[in-house]
Amino acid sequence: MELSDLNDQIIKAVEKLSGSVVSIDSVRLARDYRFGVVPLEGQASGVIIDSTGWHGPGDRCGPCEG
In tens, the pLDDT along 24-57 reads 899 999 999 999 999 999 998 877 777 776 665 5
Mean pLDDT of 9-30: 84
Spatial contact of 64 and 48, defined as CB atoms under 8 Å apart = no
- Is the pTM value of this prediction over 0.95? no
Asked whether residue 63 is assigned to any structural domain, the reply reads: no
Report the C-alpha gap between 17 and 14 in whole angstroms: 5
Cα angle value 39/43/48 (rounded, 5°): 140
Report the C-alpha gap between 48 and 39 in whole angstroms: 28
Asked whether residue 19 is assigned to any structural domain, the reply reads: yes
Split into its structural domains, the chain has a count of 1
Asked whether residue 64 is assigned to any structural domain, the reply reads: no
Handedness of CA 30, 36, 37, 42 (dihedral sign): negative
Mean pLDDT of 5-34: 86
Structural domain harbouring 48: 3-58
